Amino acid sequence: MAYNPLRLTTVGDDGLRVNSVATQPLTPRTWTYQSADAVATVRAANYFSDAKQRGMKVNDLVFVVVAADGSAATAVSICVVMAVAATGADLSDGTSITVTNT
């Protein structure tokens, strides 16, 4: 699969940029992204090719949820944005969250 910008959202502001980067430059934002792509693919440099235009910045958190459309998550990781450039963002390796249902 490939990056789908419609699946990258910020948490808590419905994309309306409440407390936007311009007014809160030192406050990390939290993002979620769901894809069938593996976490290793999503965290690769420049996967989020429009990160700068969308307001992503260093130290923002990204919850990466690996799940096919309509399916339960098979993996979840929390990654930190390490760098943002005109070509995209680079995420940390991330911390895995165990996904189980016992």
Q: Note whether 33 and 7 are within 8 A (CB).
A: yes
pTM to 2 decimals?
A: 0.84
> What does the pLDDT look like over 78-94, one tens digit per residue?
999 999 999 999 999 99
Tokens 């070509």, located at residue? 87
What pairing do the DSSP bridges indicate for beta strands 30-35 and 61-66?
A: parallel
DSSP run (H or E) holding 64: strand 61-66
Identify the three-state secondary structure at position 88: strand
Give the DSSP letter of residue 95.
Answer: E
Mean pLDDT taken over the chain:
88
Tell me: the pLDDT tens digits for 52-86?
A: 999 999 999 999 999 988 899 999 999 999 999 99
